[in-house]
A = this chain, B = another copy of it.
Amino acid sequence: MEPPRPIKRSEKAGLPPGSLVYVGRAKAVSGPPRITVIEYGPDHFAEQTLQAVTDLHPLKPTPMVTWINVDGVANPQILKAFGETFSLHPLLLEDILNTDQRPKCEFTETNIYAILKMFEFDTVKQQILTEQVSLVVGENYLITFLEEVGDEFDAIRERLHINHSKFRTSGPDYLAYSLIDTVVDRYFIVLETMGEALDILEAQIESGYDPKLLKRIHRIKREMIFLRKYIWPVREVVTTLQHADTPLLPDVIRPYLRDVYEHTIQVMDTLDTYRDLLAGIQDLYLSIASNRLNEIMKILTIISTIFIPLTFITGVYGMNFLYMPELSWRWGYFTVWLVMLLIAGGMILFVRRKQWL
Contact = CB atoms under 8 A, between A and B. Distances in A.
Interface residues of A, number: 106
B8 A192 contact: yes
A44 interface: no
Given A318-B318, A319-B320, A14 B304 contact: no
A283 B282 CA distance: 9
A293 interface: yes
A239 to B, nearest CB: 15
A265 interface: yes
Contacts of A222: 277, 280
A273 interface: yes
Contact of A288 (B214, B259, B296, B304): B214
Interface string A293-321: 11111111101110111111111111111
B309 A273 contact: no
A357 interface: no
Contact of A218 (B12, B283, B355): B283
A164 interface: no
Interface string A250-270: 000001100100100110011
A57 interface: no
A91 interface: yes
Nearest to A308: B307
A166 B17 CA distance: 10
The winner among A209, A327, A331 for most chain B CB atoms within 10 A is A327
Contacts of A12: 185, 188
Given A9-B192, A189-B13, A320 B314 contact: no
19 contacts: A6-B192, A9-B188, A10-B192, A14-B155, A89-B255, A214-B284, A229-B270, A292-B294, A294-B296, A296-B301, A297-B300, A301-B303, A308-B311, A311-B311, A315-B315, A315-B318, A318-B320, A321-B329, A323-B331
Given A13-B186, A286-B287, 12 more contacts: A6-B192, A9-B185, A12-B188, A89-B255, A91-B259, A100-B266, A218-B283, A218-B284, A299-B301, A303-B304, A321-B327, A321-B332
